[in-house]
Amino acid sequence: MSAEYEMVVGLEVHSQLLTRTKLFCRCENRFGAPPNALTCPVCLGHPGVLPLLNEEAVRLGIRLGLAMGCSIHQRSVFDRKHYFYPDLPKGYQISQFTYPLLTGGGLTVRSGEGTREIRIHRIHLEEDAGKNMHAGIRDASHVDLNRSGVPLLEIVSEPDIRTPEEAVDYLKKLRQILRATGVSDGNMEEGSFRCDANVSLRPGGSSVFGTKVEIKNMNSFRFVHKALLFECERQAQLLDRGERVVSETRLFDSSTGRTLPMRSKEEALDYRYFPEPDLPPVVLDPKWIEEERSRLPELPHERVARLSGEFGIREEDAEVLVLEEDLSRYLEEAREALHEYAGKGGWPVEQGTPRLVNFLLSEVLREWNRKGPAILTGSLAAREISYLVALVVEERLSLNQAKDVYAVCIESLRTPREVVAEKNLSQESGEDALGRWIDDVVRENPGEVQSYREGKERLFGFLVGQVMKKSGGKANPQKVNRLLKEALSR
């Protein structure tokens, strides 16, 4: 893309809620049941039935609002949003339009070396539609209404996002909050976390927005990134040629990495919103909100601050650990195992944790990026890493040797214990053995020792070398250094 354009992105996320039942009926809210097994006259849209609001969905909305610093409105209203589609038998969706449950709030995302605030425009409650099924069916489509009436929160950002990386970080962090608060499982494959992206370009330095395009059908973070890059390039080329961007909805095609037109905004639907006559306004007791506030778990950003303090690592490193649940679980398990090794070895565990975290952020993270979560199990399960780190703390391996062992384990699927034993790597650090070698060397080299003591410091290296030689190269050099210095100053 030409450098003179700035990208402007606003995201709309639909998140299915972890309620036991649907939003307006008591049908089970569950993925994967046989088609139309989880339906009743309400969610099938039969005439004359009455919706009854699921309080649990409102509670989850309040939790998300608290976690994202939104204004939680004591009064919100459900509206009917009308359109025709086979997966919407009622002919309208019950949503919130004029008076949503939540407005404001925001999220902090990584942006290059720094961070940026992405503001939330609004978050409202609505029901999901059913699903048209085309796969494996000729000349027809089937409709599955299990999803019809499943509770959703639609989370609409302000157009504050400026790069594909910021967009992906926003989505990852939002999903993390949804999971941490128990609002949603955030499962993208099963469609409980779905995202539409609004994208426009404007000349750098301009304060007015360009015409936006809405992109749908991106069902992974990687696809969001790809779609935004593609769309940015496409719009830049139009503008470069002096053409205009058409306001439209486009579909991302993952097989080609392109976006394709779906419908233009001239064909935009008039939803004829009006207040849902069958549901009273949602009125919240402030006490309820305070109760939920006191029940919130540790939030991701709080966890980042805590880990960064506890381990003495940078916030962006702590963020990786928090954002990637696989890695944070691995770290917790490894830390527990490290406690055991510390107990056995008689050293304070705090001596090992920074090493453990750094090992994880360098070696493990690199391999995890390369090979995925498989490297966190089996021969390199969490306690194996702790074993390796314990060897380093006890000065039986140097850090570089530990890294080498790790690399061998990755390639050979063997445990660090096996590799260390096989390579006969484990350094001799027993103070008894070292002490004996050092005493021998001091006794056998009286001239050098004398000269060293008189100020010829260069001879220290020679004496270290003698000790190493006696140990057959297996002594730990740092320890030899320390003990030899002690011996020579006696």
Provide the binding-site residues for Zn ion, judged by CB under 5 A: 25, 27, 40, 42-43
Residues 6 or more apart in contact with residue 440 via CB below 8 angstroms: 470
43 binds, among ligand ADP, Zn ion, none (CB under 5 to 8 A by kind): Zn ion
- Is residue 356 classed exposed, middle or buried when 0-12, 13-18 and 19+ CB atoms within 10 A define those classes? buried
Map residue 28 onto helix, strand or coil: strand
Helix axes 164-180, 300-311, angle to 10 degrees: 100
Smallest distance, ligand ADP to C-beta of residue 183, A: 19
12 binds, among ligand ADP, Zn ion, none (CB under 5 to 8 A by kind): ligand ADP
Strand partners, 144: 131
User: Closest Cα partner for 484 from 432, 434, 425, 414?
Assistant: 434
40 binds, among ligand ADP, Zn ion, none (CB under 5 to 8 A by kind): Zn ion
Binding site for ligand ADP (CB under 6 A): 8-12, 121, 156-159, 198-200, 209-210, 212
Smallest distance, ligand ADP to C-beta of residue 147, A: 22
Q: Which lies closer to Zn ion via its Cβ, residue 52 or residue 421?
A: 52
* One-letter amino acid of 392: V
Smallest distance, ligand ADP to C-beta of residue 244, A: 14
Q: Which lies closer to ligand ADP via its Cβ, residue 11 or residue 349?
A: 11
Smallest distance, ligand ADP to C-beta of residue 214, A: 7
274 binds, among Zn ion, ligand ADP, none (CB under 5 to 8 A by kind): none
Q: Which lies closer to Zn ion via its Cβ, residue 30 or residue 453?
A: 30
200 binds, among Zn ion, ligand ADP, none (CB under 5 to 8 A by kind): ligand ADP
CA distance 308 to 304: 6
Smallest distance, ligand ADP to C-beta of residue 13, A: 9
Q: Which lies closer to Zn ion via its Cβ, residue 25 or residue 334?
A: 25
CA distance 161 to 116: 9
Q: Which lies closer to ligand ADP via its Cβ, residue 180 or residue 228?
A: 228
42 binds, among ligand ADP, Zn ion, none (CB under 5 to 8 A by kind): Zn ion
Smallest distance, Zn ion to C-beta of residue 149, A: 5
Q: What is the maximum alpha-carbon separation in the chain?
A: 106
Closest residue to ligand ADP, based on beta-carbon distance:
10
Q: Which lies closer to Zn ion via its Cβ, residue 44 or residue 449?
A: 44
CA distance 304 to 319: 6
27 binds, among Zn ion, ligand ADP, none (CB under 5 to 8 A by kind): Zn ion
Smallest distance, Zn ion to C-beta of residue 14, A: 19
Smallest distance, ligand ADP to C-beta of residue 14, A: 12
- Torsion, Cα of 357, 295, 105, 8 (10° steps): 50
Helix axes 286-295, 55-67, angle to 10 degrees: 60
Residues 6 or more apart in contact with residue 62 via CB below 8 angstroms: 72, 101, 284, 288, 289, 292
Q: Which lies closer to Zn ion via its Cβ, residue 42 or residue 70?
A: 42
User: Closest Cα partner for 402 from 377, 371, 423?
Assistant: 423
Smallest distance, ligand ADP to C-beta of residue 148, A: 23
Cβ 12 vs Cβ 123: under 8 Å: no
Q: Which lies closer to Zn ion via its Cβ, residue 11 or residue 42?
A: 42
Q: Which lies closer to ligand ADP via its Cβ, residue 93 or residue 157?
A: 157
